[in-house]
């Protein structure tokens, strides 16, 4: 029987023959695929345990803020109680949205794509491939009926799931035509055929930021739009070269695209007929400086750094200088807010200064693994504010002060209010969460960890990076 690497010392692994290592890699990949298939089955069973009927008070279906049926898969798949997804995501170390997607894919496969589901469970189709099919059939417009989904399932299962995105789009388009789903959608054109599935999109992949401070843009354009854009980028790149830029052609085309965006923004702000030489600012950079050490102490191996509020990404000081150096950039330096100061008010409503302090301190929703920006969150009283305490002469158990406030997105605010999830602030900006099933999580500005999970050791000979 092939052993795993975990049971071997470093020297023994090095002594393995190449053929044995290849066999070990294949076995490990098979184990990984098996585990992914089993996780889908577990997710489906978790949904089975939490139908909407699992809520004791049936009237809660119509009470604002309470649980309700949450459609996460297509027609014919059972609904699931909304709040159960948070605990599944927490134990998996992923966001509630990711857990919702996992359960939705599992239900879509088991109930609407049963052939593909059986192939996954038999190990003939990798779970990731089946999930990509489920993602498509769930979100197709117009929605696929059970019969249309079964048609797609039969075609995909016949080739063991080996279909690319373009082939899958064609299959979906054929199902829409075959089952006359276009007639159900009054905005659809039944003569459109394959083109009915509109592939156009422009997507900024802000979840994958390069260490050089770049993001990837992916787009599918109308042919004429694509050619127009190509010509505009070519002109922009040539202009930058004429102005003295020694960057590569690809880098200049990328910069030209940013120039197009800023110019268009400026025109929108100025209105029609504006003088291009007197356009208003097309970009605004708002700087908030927080210093608790000398500038030299803030340097990393990359140089002095800061943090970009949008996306919570590190940025280099040189990048900020470049952003501020453009003549069409408006730079605003906000007053410094001490994130360690204890601010308070006797009222229930959170004033702007305290709200801003909590937003800058927490950065995102403080629920385990949630990444929604704090600026779009509710400011929650960790211990509930008692509106009758003053009138009845009792101490306020939930004062409106820094030590009792946290940023929670609307979903997790409702979760905390209407379920057995509980949390407390153990230090400024540090939170301990307890789930209904007794799992514990720590959440601070650096992220989330399970309370019983030790921090991994530092890699040997690599210095621990400074926190910005």
Task: Compute the average pLDDT of residues 89-97.
Answer: 94
**Band (307; pLDDT cuts 50, 70, 90):** low
How confident is the model over 311-339, as pLDDT tens digits?
556 666 676 677 666 656 676 666 667 88
Structure tokens at 208: 């994958």
Please tell me the pTM assigned to this model.
Answer: 0.71
pLDDT tens, position by position, 185-197: 544 444 444 444 5
Residues 6 or more apart whose CB falls under 8 angstroms from that of 322 comprise none
Q: Given this model, what pLDDT does residue 462 score?
A: 47
| pLDDT tier, 98 (very low <50, low <70, confident <90, very high otherwise) | very high
- The pLDDT assigned to 294 comes to 41
Percent of the chain with pLDDT over 90: 41
Percent of the chain topping pLDDT 70: 69
Q: Range with the lowest mean pLDDT among 179-183, 346-350, 390-394?
A: 179-183
Residues 192, 256: Cα–Cα separation, whole Å: 35
pLDDT one-digit tens code per residue, 264-305: 654 444 454 555 555 555 566 666 665 444 444 444 444 566
Q: State mean pLDDT over 77-102.
A: 92
**Taking the CB of residue 37, how many other CB atoms lie within 10 A of it?**
20
- Min mean pLDDT across 11-25, 29-43, 247-261, 378-392 is at 11-25
What is the β-pairing status of strands 422-427 and 430-434?
A: antiparallel
Exposure of 258 in the CB half-sphere (CA atoms within 13 A): 15
Alpha-carbon gap, residue 261 to 41, rounded angstroms: 46
Percent helix, strand, coil in the chain, to 5, is: 45, 15, 40
* pLDDT value for 269: 45
The pLDDT assigned to 289 comes to 61
Exposed e or buried b per residue across 146-175, where buried means at least 16 C-beta atoms within 10 angstroms of its C-beta: eebbbbbbebbbeeebebeeeebbbbbbbb
Range among 19-28, 50-59, 220-229 rated most confident: 19-28
Residue 404: both structure tokens together: 């009792």
Cis amide leading into 142 (omega within 30): yes
Mean pLDDT, residues 239-267: 81
Mean pLDDT of 445-468: 63
Look at residue 55 in the predicted model and tell me its pLDDT. Answer: 47
pLDDT of residue 61: 28
The residue-averaged pLDDT of 190-216 equals 65
Residue range 168-196: mean pLDDT, rounded: 69
User: What is the reported pLDDT for 302?
Assistant: 47
pLDDT at res. 202: 84
Of 212, 184, 210, the residue nearest 196 (C-alpha): 184
pLDDT greater than 70 at residue 103:
yes
- CA–CA dist 444, 451 (Å, integer): 12
> Looking up tokens 């909304």, which residue turns up?
82
Of the candidates 360, 349, 368, the one whose C-alpha atom is nearest the C-alpha of residue 412 is 368
Are 261 and 333 a contacting pair, CB within 8 Å? no
Q: Which of 13-17, 139-143, 381-385 has the highest mean pLDDT?
A: 381-385
Alpha-carbon gap, residue 208 to 214, rounded angstroms: 9
Q: What is the mean pLDDT of residues 172-177?
A: 91
């Amino acid at each position: 029987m092939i052993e795993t690497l975990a049971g071997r010392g470093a020297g023994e692994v090095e002594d393995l023959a190449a053929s044995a290592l290849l066999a070990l890699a294949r076995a490990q990949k098979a184990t990984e695929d098996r585990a992914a298939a089993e996780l889908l089955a577990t997710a489906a069973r978790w949904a089975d345990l939490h139908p909407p009927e699992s809520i004791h008070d049936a009237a809660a279906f119509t009470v604002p803020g309470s649980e309700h049926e949450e459609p996460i898969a297509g027609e014919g798949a059972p609904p699931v109680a909304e709040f159960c997804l948070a605990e599944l995501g927490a134990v998996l170390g992923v966001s509630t949205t990711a857990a919702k997607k996992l359960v939705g894919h599992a239900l879509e496969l088991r109930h609407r794509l049963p052939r593909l589901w059986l192939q996954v469970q038999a190990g003939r189709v990798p779970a990731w491939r089946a999930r990509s099919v489920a993602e498509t059939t769930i979100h197709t417009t117009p929605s696929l009926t059970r019969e249309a989904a079964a048609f797609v399932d039969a075609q995909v299962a016949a080739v063991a799931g080996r279909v690319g995105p373009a082939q899958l789009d064609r299959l979906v388009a054929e199902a829409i035509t075959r089952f006359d789903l276009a007639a159900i959608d009054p905005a659809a054109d039944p003569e459109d055929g394959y083109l009915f599935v509109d592939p156009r999109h422009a997507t900024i992949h802000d979840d994958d930021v390069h260490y050089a401070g770049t993001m990837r843009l992916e787009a599918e354009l109308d042919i004429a739009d694509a050619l127009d854009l190509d010509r505009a980028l070519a002109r922009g790149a040539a202009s930058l070269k004429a102005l003295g830029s020694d960057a590569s052609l690809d880098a200049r085309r990328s910069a030209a695209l940013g120039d197009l965006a800023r110019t268009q923004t400026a025109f929108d702000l100025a209105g029609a007929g504006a003088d291009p030489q007197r356009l208003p600012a097309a970009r605004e950079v708002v700087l908030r400086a927080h210093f608790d050490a000398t500038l030299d102490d803030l340097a990393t191996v990359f140089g002095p750094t800061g943090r970009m509020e949008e996306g919570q990404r590190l940025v280099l000081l040189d990048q900020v200088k470049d952003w501020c150096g453009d003549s069409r950039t408006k730079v605003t330096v906000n007053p410094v807010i001490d994130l360690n100061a204890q601010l308070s008010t006797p009222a229930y409503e959170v004033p702007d200064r305290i709200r801003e302090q909590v937003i800058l301190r927490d950065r995102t929703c403080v629920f385990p693994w949630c990444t929604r920006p704090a600026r779009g969150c509710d400011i929650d009283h960790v211990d509930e504010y008692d509106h009758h305490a003053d009138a009845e002469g009792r101490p306020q158990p939930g004062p409106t002060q820094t030590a009792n406030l946290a940023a929670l997105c609307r979903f997790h605010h409702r979760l905390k209010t209407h379920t057995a999830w509980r949390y407390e602030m153990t230090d400024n900006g540090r939170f301990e969460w307890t789930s209904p099933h007794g799992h514990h999580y720590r959440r601070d500005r650096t992220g989330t960890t399970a309370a019983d999970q030790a921090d991994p050791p530092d890699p040997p000979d690599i210095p621990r990076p400074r926190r910005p």
